[in-house]
Structure 1
Amino acid sequence: MASATAKPKPFVLHASTLARAHTYLAFAAFLSALVVGCALHYKKIVKNGVAGYPHEWFPSVSATIGDWYPERNIFQILIAINSGPRFALVALQYYLHRTPSSSIPGFLLLIGILRTLSCGGWVFITSSDDHDVHDVLMISYIVLNLPWMFGSLACTPLEHTASRRRRLWTSATFFLSILPMIYFFVQHKVHRIPGAYTRYSFFEWGLIFLDIFYDSSAELDFKAADLKFTIGSLVGGSTDTDKIANQAEVETVNPSADVNVHTPSVVSAGDEKTVTTNGKDISPAKSTPKPSLFASIRPTVSFISDLYLSYIYWSVYTSLTPTLFYFSVWELGIAGHELSLLSTLSPMLLGIPPFSSWAHTREGRTILHGLSAFVGLGAYAVKSPFVRLLLVAFANASAAVGAAVEWFGAGEGEVAYRALVTGLGFLVSSLSKHANHGNNPVWPIVNEWSGGWNKTGMALVILALFEFTCRPDPPATSSTSTTPPTKKTAPRPTSSPHWFPASLALGGLICSLHSLLSDPTTLIAWAWTGYPLSGPVPALHGSLTHVAQALGLALAAFLPSSGVFTHPLYLAFGAASGYIMYAYKDWVGYAGGLCVAVFLMSIIPAVWARAREAALAGGAGKTAAMAWLVVCVYDVASTFTVAYAFVPGGEYFRERTDLVLLSQFACIALAFRWPRINANARSLKLTLPKRAQFMIQYTLAVLTTVSLLVTLYRTPKMPPQPHRPASRIVRAGIWTVHFGIDNEGRDSQRLMRDLIGDMELDVVGLLETDLHRVVFGNRDLTRVMAEELGFYVDIGPGPNQHTWGAVLLSKFPIINSTHHLLPSPDGELAPAIEAYLDMFGTPVKVIVAHNGQEETPLDRELQSTELARMMSSSYPDPVIFLGYVVTKPHARRPAPYEIMVTDGKVHDIDQDDIDRWCEYIFYRGLYRTSYARVSRGIVTDTELQIGQFVVPRPGTSISDDSREARYIRSYKEDLPEDHWFPMPYYPQLGGKNGHQYHVFNTPLYYKLPEDASL
């Protein structure tokens, strides 16, 4: 007979059941909305602002879940039901992974809650409710996925192989899918291409399903840990035994004793509870007191401080060459200031024992950090370019000594950490340029008027140095102490590499990083071929370079002690990638460049470790100094490849970037393990603590996400539009902008933007613009103008084409463009861009070119002949020439003027203007209505010349092309007001920002023929 007090069987709820319910409900919500939406409103949900069915035939997530009844309501009901399992899943993962010694699970708990709330935000506030709020919450959700996915992966126990594998492939695929999704979104939103949104939608749905698959990994974790809820009775009891039985307990059965699993369990025993982890008693009465919050976050704060100081180091170093080259350009020759490059040889001072001992102390390292940071960053406040150069050179001398101490004085256990932080600082430097229109915001060549954040950068230096000074000393062990690596303190191991080859390898790697990866768009400039677009676009795809760099560092962080990064086969991979980058264009060439980025970033710890071993054997001073001497040689060589006209010996380097690149890889190869050279060298013992590994991986995830978000933020929302479409007016300008450095030695992008914007130019030719070189800071001169004024951009021949560069900015769509290297047997190579622009339905050829100098008459004659051929080949179709032509007006052959005007079958913008020397505008097939010359201000050493034209209607041509018809001069008041140039620039009114109409003191105006077809 059953007892009346018999208790019911305990109710057991497996945590894996909750995770499975979450997965099923999530899939049901999205798939039901998709099925119902396609069944009831198919053509409505595939239609967008650009096109509809049949061009668009698959709906986006937002249109499916948020626009129509009843799919919207079905989706939201199921998602609301799913909120309970979702919050439970977040809490249970925290419970499973928590440990007294780590704050990471608690951090992930917070991220999981915020991620869930942002998910609820974008699914319940749809794009039709509030587009901006929906987008912000959606982007927030994607950003929060970074720490959530990578943090959960890091916390997953090693023995949970199934869940680790699922998290790894789903997270990797998730973030890789973002890149093509952004590409197709730009094609839809900016270029308004029908069908692009359908392709975008595939990747958008892919992210949804990958996100659900990732969260489903929790079910595998819960099963492996046998995590479950056990409830003794669903009704209350009165006895003590019942009270204990009625308590809900969370139990885990963990067969492994690995402390990394972190699966605490609660065992009830009367009124006391004992908390155990893997069978170990950690109850409050017996456990060690938990450290304070500050102590628990101190390693993270120290890591952030180290990262910022590394960023400042790279910022100071990369600022030296653009600060220096200002003088070389103005002198057009070796000016003597180039000796400032040798400031980086300062590590030779470490050969002085007292100085070396001081430099390795906490005080010495702090002072070296402070001198390089405050002097290097504070130089921006100095107006004199020469004094600014002296300060930057001194800052680099301090930075080089400090870097040698940090790199070579670190204990063996710190080598991987120091090297990876150095690589992270380099990546942050590149990212800061990407976010700041191609300029590092703390460079001394920028200030608050030209995109600088110098004061903010210095304020953060104070905080970083304060933390560095107050940082607790590490345990006094040989693996963590920073001591001078001298022969007395560290005898040379018999297997250590010789210091000279290791120095060459370090120098080659630093130079390669600086020249190729210090700006994310440099590799794209190498692969650029123009329009129609068949490769990456600098402003849109630069983030891919950051992803590749982050991948390289992530590989090094995951496998710090792996020998793969010093194996000759890995060098073969890097060299083959370099060949593809050099020999091919468009996406193939850029893919080779991305592989080079992965290769260079991944070998940083190995090369740094070889250099440290060499420093132990041969001395830190000469090892570091020789490495920097190698860098100096390559900095000069990279200039020689293009500056033949004023650099002695330049003829031996011109067009030989292949040899320079090959020698860089040859230097790097000396750090690899070769069977017959250093086969007996001891294996590199690179170790990275798990906490440091997690912080580095988390930082990489954050940096790549920020890069992608910057790209989204910087992407123009509307295609460029000409200023006067109703009147069919085109304003075209030519400007030689002196490498984007103004007369005071600062970046001139914003000064150019202001004048070009005020003049309302529709087409602009810019010369001396190839800044993707070490000496110019690897900058993109077009970023500010293209983004803020709205231009299509053709950057012309890239840095591997060995020219000073030419750029075409256009408000009109660029139908196609061709890049030319003009004949240059005697001097520097001359670039030209030949493009067809769609001007109000009429294809107009526009040529932007830079001819050779007066010292090379043969070059000028051959180049002028080739340009004349380009212009005459399309006769009688419209053409505009915007170029730098060193000649006097009306000069006879073999001078360029007669060749280009006569043989090219074009008209001079105003043949009565005889006060010209280098800049010229020629045209054909258009009505010229105005011509202006605007003084340079402080932007450069040449003026801005502007021609204003009216394009005949399609199918018509110029009614009267005689000289008499073209030279009927007029007052501006006789023309419609939309033909007038801005009034504030008249010298009588004082001009504006240092610019004014000069030579004629006014724009020249011309009447339109009465029978003009407008």
Structure 2
Amino acid sequence: MSSSPGQHEARRAALTISAARLAVFHTYLSFAAFLSALFIGCALHYKKIVKNGVAGYPQEWFPSVSATIGDWYPERNIFQILIALNSGPRFAILLLQYYLQRTASSALPNLLLGVGIVRTLSCGGWVFITSSDDHDWHDILMITYIVCNLPWMYGSISATKDATIRERRKLVANMFFFAIVPMVYFFIQHKVYRIPGAYTRYSFFEWSLIVLDIFYDSITRYEFEAADLQITIGTPGDDKSGHQPIAHEIKEIAPSDDVISSFVQPTSSENSSNVPPNITGTMKFKLPVHSQSLSHGFAFLCDVYLSYLNWSIFTSLTITLFYFSVWELGVAGSEASLLSTLSPIFLGFSIFRDIASSRAGRTILHVLSLTSPLAYLLRSPLHRLLAVSFANIAMCIGWTVEWSATPAAIGYQAIVTGLGLLLSSLSKHANHSNNPIWPIIDERSGGYNKIGIALALVAIYNVYSRKSNPSLDHELLSFTDKKDVAPPSPTPVRTNWLKDGFALGSFIFTLHCFVTDPSTIISWSWTGYPLRGPLPHLHGSLTHVAQAVGLLIPTFASHRLLSSPIFFGYGAISAAGMYLYKDWLGYFAGWNFALFLMSVIPTVLSSAAMNRHIGKTYCLAFLTAALYDVANTFTVAYAFVPGGEVFRERTNYVLAAQMLGIAMVFRWPILNTSAPPISLTRRVTTYTRNMIAVLSVVSLLVTIYRWPVEAPAPYRPGPRIVRAGIWTVHFGIDNEGRDSQRRMRDLIKDMELDVIGLLETDLHRVVYGNRDLTRVMLEDIGFHVDLGPGPNQHTWGAVLLSKFPIINSTHHLLPSPHGELAPAIHAVLDMYGTPVHVVVAHNGQEETPLDRELQAKELARIMSSVYPEPVIFLGYVVTKPHAARPAPYDIMVNDGRVHDIDKDDWDRWCEYIFYRGLYRTAYARVSRSTITDTELQIGQFILPKHGTTVTNESTEAQYLRAWKEEMPAGHWFPQEYYPEVGGVRGHFYHVFNTPLYYKLPEGAVVS
């Protein structure tokens, strides 16, 4: 057949080039843009581009990328021109790479194309909007670019078919992200600590990211060469073989012979539809036989650590958001962040579920969830909340993917979930009741954030690099031996997502509420002194033993037993006993309840995994848990929220609802609730039992290490001086949203307080993080502790710390008909052989005058009932000094038969110190710094000689004021806290700018 001249011209006009050359051109042009800016900038403006806000040359001697490309002419303009020329090849490479990677069975290439476009556009953003133009947008776009690199790089690795190219990409990607760690470190050294020279070191790593980024994209050349991909411009002609010039062929890499085979059989037609058609019967994946046990064991540890990370992220959300609720004393809007846990709804879309279930998808979700532990670097509480919320979005999707595994894998996932929870509780027990990787914790407050993040990166890399089939990686085939497990029998799939979601949500909240800290159940049974029950800091390991035994039970007990109504009855009776009884009996019931909760984790998770509506089921589960969070909080905080009175003191109803939800997963004859039996391999069972043993022993060793070796002793036993203070500590969260225990400890230690009352301290609730506010002070300084009314008593909390032995103590719930319940502790302390009554109390709010009046009368009754014995009152009383009845001041002073610490101090509102039967020698008011919203008030007293009483209680005798120099040095408060000296850590004597001192009246007998 002849052709026309026009066709010959078209064929001659066609231009064919190799796609690999385009990738090479892109690489050279990228290097030319950055290196030209660097060389020209150093030649023309060297000292200007190395200078920063902290230092200049010679301390800083290498420029940052931003300063090099964005501050000066002509390097800025040359760079931008070259980058603009590079945009065409960049988008062309994106499309060609998508063309090579696209498949009918995977949505990953589509996702990568979208991420690649956003990545490219954000690159153009931070290039053309320089830091000198708009610093905020420059940083936002640069961070967006770096974040997009995560799914771009690791997603591209997963989509790469050639093993050699995949390894090259993996090497460069790992180097890229590992370089971020020292870069962030040196940036903090520069920005926060303002260390000269730190920015130069930061700049080296910043430039290394640029180089590694270009190198990563340059690897596309080899992918194009392997596929023999060509680009033809014009009308192409046919070659002799009849193939078009635009063609590619990817060679599949055959697996090696050194593999372990595992049998996998779909359990239903629905499940089998999700299995690629080329995967049937026998699955093969590479796993060197000689290192099989070692690699399995390490992978198991990594999975447990990632579970610990998930629990840490999940429990950090409520404590991070509640900072705002406390300051607003009402609904602050931050509560909306609870909705971040509803992200599993996206798994209702099959394309999203396929991506999230892939190995690359799971890796990306794990990495994105690191924004929670990384949030400790952010100074703004709002920014930390946003980061933690984002982490929970990713984490809850990942949790759902793992928990909705097939019956062959759900047992393993349940065990790992339980071990991660136990490890999380243990980490708090070892770290003074604070999770060491929470974003509210940093290095100053006992955090181990860097170590936690480093371990997380190792674990994530292990998950990503496991030698298993990516499409079935969520089934953890590397933990299944054919000889151990028979093919699972077909299991019916349920569609009642409302019941399954409510049951799982009730269970998640119950775990969060009771077993995320070992001392929470102890606090429910606490009644004070003399001791009739466990001590939180010494007996928390017993709770860990209960958790460990509970998690051990599924490794040998039958599924029928653990899912039977009889076993649920055991759990329900334990929960009721925990609520109704106190001391050792109440704790024993709680101990059994913890055992029950841990033992049914596989039962509950396997039941939810049966539901085919994954997105709706797990979204409802996390919504249910969030609603429980609110209800549990409103049982105390109802006075500040609309409709909160409905939940007032309704903990029993909330607990009953929790148990009702959990009951739905058990085998009731009238309900179709049977869950499939779980299966654990011998290897996983062995790993589980060994780890349970190790964690239990570690918990006991931590307790032994923390066990006090010396009894607390007062600071000044010789002159029989007592220093007592009162402080409202705002739930242990400072003004910056950080844990404040260590800062409180430092001030209390410096002031050498023998007795102190702390208010707003009941933290054993999910919104406060299930913490023990006394742990640092108790273990570092040495105190006897009375925690006051527990979380099931519905108060804000009160704590008494004493260097003196506590003879006995009584907890009171003060009359509160309208507002929230006000707590009080009435303790008798052995002060140098003299029984002294100490009362610590928290009054109601300004909005409830009747409550305040009734509470004042009850406190006055308590103090007057022990007249004339010595009394020290340390409390929060909503009244003005000398306010007439029905205001609390007159009632408490006159009816309680006590004296004000200083009646001439008119500048007070809430904190008061009253006393009787002692000689007051000093009074100080210390500013709070940024620890809380209330000052620390201190009174100093001397006890009369044993067997005598105060000789003269007249006003004239009490107000013999003195200068500091007139008093013995042992009576002086620390000199460095005077404002003219500068204070310490932001604390100083204020109002009077000095402590007030008082002489002993004539005739006083003190020794």
TM-score computed with the length of structure 2 as normaliser: 0.69
Matched residue count: 711
Alignment of 1:376-525 (within 5 A): 376-408=372-404, 410-473=405-468, 480=475, 496=494, 498-525=496-523
Alignment of 1:306-345 (within 5 A): 306-345=303-342
Shift, 1:508, TM fit = 0.8
Deviations 1:761-810 (A, max 9, x none): 00000000000000000000000001101000000000000000000000
Aligned residues of 2:493 and 2:610 also touching (Cα < 8 A): no
Q: Specify the alignment match of 2:608 in structure 1.
A: 611
SS at structure 1 position matched to 2:320: helix
Deviations 1:807-854 (A, max 9, x none): 000000000000000000000000000000000000000000000011
Shift, 1:558, TM fit = 2.0
Residue type of the partner of 1:662?
Answer: A
Shift, 1:414, TM fit = 1.1
Deviations 1:326-355 (A, max 9, x none): 000000010111000000000011112221
Q: Identify the match of residue 744 of structure 1 among 714, 719, 736.
A: 736
The alpha-carbon distance between structure 1 residues 467 and 355, as it changes in their structure 2 partners (threshold 3 A), is same
Q: What is the rounded CA distance, in whole Å, between the counterparts of 2:698 and 2:839 in structure 1? A: 38
Aligned residues of 1:768 and 1:804 also touching (Cα < 8 A): yes
Shift, 1:505, TM fit = 1.2
SS at structure 2 position matched to 1:990: coil
Q: What is the rounded CA distance, in whole Å, between the counterparts of 1:648 and 1:824 in structure 2? A: 18
Q: Identify the match of residue 940 of structure 1 among 915, 920, 932.
A: 932
Cα RMSD after superposing both structures: 1.8
Q: What is the rounded CA distance, in whole Å, between the counterparts of 1:538 and 1:390 in structure 2? A: 33
Shift, 1:750, TM fit = 0.3
SS at structure 2 position matched to 1:643: helix
SS at structure 1 position matched to 2:653: helix
Aligned residues of 1:507 and 1:627 also touching (Cα < 8 A): yes
Q: Specify the alignment match of 1:668 in structure 2.
A: 662
Q: Identify the match of residue 775 of structure 1 among 747, 758, 767.
A: 767
Aligned residues of 1:842 and 1:953 also touching (Cα < 8 A): no
Q: Specify the alignment match of 2:527 in structure 1.
A: 529
SS at structure 1 position matched to 2:980: helix
Q: Identify the match of residue 803 of structure 2 among 808, 811, 815.
A: 811
Q: What is the rounded CA distance, in whole Å, between the counterparts of 1:291 and 1:650 in structure 2? A: 60
Residue type of the partner of 2:978?
Answer: Y
SS at structure 2 position matched to 1:675: coil
Aligned residues of 1:412 and 1:480 also touching (Cα < 8 A): no
SS at structure 1 position matched to 2:555: helix
Q: What is the rounded CA distance, in whole Å, between the counterparts of 1:823 and 1:702 in structure 2? A: 48
Q: Identify the match of residue 621 of structure 1 among 615, 618, 631.
A: 615
Aligned residues of 2:320 and 2:385 also touching (Cα < 8 A): yes
Residue type of the partner of 2:833?
Answer: G
Q: Specify the alignment match of 2:21 in structure 1.
A: none
Q: What is the rounded CA distance, in whole Å, between the counterparts of 2:313 and 2:493 in structure 1? A: 36
Aligned residues of 1:734 and 1:944 also touching (Cα < 8 A): yes
Residue type of the partner of 1:960?
Answer: N
Q: Specify the alignment match of 1:980 in structure 2.
A: 972
Q: What is the rounded CA distance, in whole Å, between the counterparts of 1:425 and 1:477 in structure 2? A: 23
Q: Specify the alignment match of 2:566 in structure 1.
A: 569
Alignment of 1:946-965 (within 5 A): 946-965=938-957
Aligned residues of 1:578 and 1:592 also touching (Cα < 8 A): yes
SS at structure 2 position matched to 1:875: coil
Q: What is the rounded CA distance, in whole Å, between the counterparts of 2:472 and 2:764 in structure 1? A: 45
Deviations 1:36-74 (A, max 9, x none): xxxxxxxxxxxxxxxxxxxxxxxxxxxxxxxxxxxxxxx
SS at structure 1 position matched to 2:669: coil
Residue type of the partner of 1:514?
Answer: H
Shift, 1:731, TM fit = 0.2
Shift, 1:688, TM fit = 0.2
In the alignment, does 2:352 pair up with 1:360?
no
Shift, 1:491, TM fit = 14
SS at structure 2 position matched to 1:838: strand
SS at structure 1 position matched to 2:436: coil
Residue type of the partner of 1:795?
Answer: L
Shift, 1:411, TM fit = 2.7
Q: What is the rounded CA distance, in whole Å, between the counterparts of 1:556 and 1:827 in structure 2? A: 46
SS at structure 1 position matched to 2:444: coil
Q: What is the rounded CA distance, in whole Å, between the counterparts of 1:825 and 1:455 in structure 2? A: 49
TM-score computed with the length of structure 1 as normaliser: 0.69
Residue type of the partner of 1:597?
Answer: A
Q: What is the rounded CA distance, in whole Å, between the counterparts of 1:439 and 1:493 in structure 2? A: 42
Q: Specify the alignment match of 1:889 in structure 2.
A: 881
Q: Specify the alignment match of 1:821 in structure 2.
A: 813
Aligned residues of 1:738 and 1:940 also touching (Cα < 8 A): yes
In the alignment, does 2:830 pair up with 1:838?
yes
Aligned residues of 2:726 and 2:874 also touching (Cα < 8 A): yes
Shift, 1:474, TM fit = 5.3
Residue type of the partner of 1:853?
Answer: Q
Q: What is the rounded CA distance, in whole Å, between the counterparts of 1:292 and 1:603 in structure 2? A: 35
Q: Specify the alignment match of 2:10 in structure 1.
A: none
Aligned residues of 1:474 and 1:480 also touching (Cα < 8 A): no
Q: Specify the alignment match of 1:634 in structure 2.
A: 628
Deviations 1:410-463 (A, max 9, x none): 232111110010010001000000000010000000000001000110111111
Q: What is the rounded CA distance, in whole Å, between the counterparts of 1:721 and 1:505 in structure 2? A: 50
Task: State the identity as a percent.
Answer: 62
Shift, 1:477, TM fit = 7.8
Aligned residues of 2:372 and 2:388 also touching (Cα < 8 A): yes
Q: What is the rounded CA distance, in whole Å, between the counterparts of 1:391 and 1:631 in structure 2? A: 20
Q: Specify the alignment match of 2:95 in structure 1.
A: none
The alpha-carbon distance between structure 1 residues 979 and 697, as it changes in their structure 2 partners (threshold 3 A), is same
In the alignment, does 2:673 pair up with 1:647?
no
Shift, 1:495, TM fit = 6.0
SS at structure 2 position matched to 1:793: strand
Aligned residues of 2:406 and 2:609 also touching (Cα < 8 A): no
Q: What is the rounded CA distance, in whole Å, between the counterparts of 2:350 and 2:501 in structure 1? A: 21
> Which segments of structure 1 move beyond 4 Å, counting only runs of 4 or more?
290-293, 474-479, 490-495
Aligned residues of 2:359 and 2:470 also touching (Cα < 8 A): no
The alpha-carbon distance between structure 1 residues 388 and 955, as it changes in their structure 2 partners (threshold 3 A), is same
Q: Specify the alignment match of 2:698 in structure 1.
A: 706
Residue type of the partner of 1:572?
Answer: G
Shift, 1:735, TM fit = 0.1
Aligned residues of 2:407 and 2:676 also touching (Cα < 8 A): no
Shift, 1:492, TM fit = 11
In the alignment, does 2:297 pair up with 1:297?
no
Aligned residues of 1:411 and 1:478 also touching (Cα < 8 A): no
Aligned residues of 1:411 and 1:481 also touching (Cα < 8 A): no
Q: Specify the alignment match of 2:146 in structure 1.
A: none
Q: Specify the alignment match of 1:546 in structure 2.
A: 544
Shift, 1:678, TM fit = 1.4
Aligned residues of 1:891 and 1:897 also touching (Cα < 8 A): yes
Q: What is the rounded CA distance, in whole Å, between the counterparts of 1:427 and 1:606 in structure 2? A: 18
Residue type of the partner of 1:667?
Answer: G
Q: What is the rounded CA distance, in whole Å, between the counterparts of 1:651 and 1:808 in structure 2? A: 29
Q: Specify the alignment match of 1:596 in structure 2.
A: 593
Aligned residues of 2:763 and 2:769 also touching (Cα < 8 A): yes
Q: What is the rounded CA distance, in whole Å, between the counterparts of 1:947 and 1:343 in structure 2? A: 47
In the alignment, does 2:1006 pair up with 1:1008?
no
Shift, 1:502, TM fit = 1.4
Shift, 1:1002, TM fit = 0.2
Shift, 1:685, TM fit = 2.8
Q: What is the rounded CA distance, in whole Å, between the counterparts of 1:478 and 1:986 in structure 2? A: 64
In the alignment, does 2:666 pair up with 1:684?
no
Shift, 1:292, TM fit = 5.8
* Unaligned stretches of 5+ residues in structure 2: 1-286, 478-487
Aligned residues of 1:417 and 1:688 also touching (Cα < 8 A): yes
Shift, 1:552, TM fit = 0.4
Aligned residues of 2:491 and 2:676 also touching (Cα < 8 A): no
Q: What is the rounded CA distance, in whole Å, between the counterparts of 1:477 and 1:738 in structure 2? A: 49
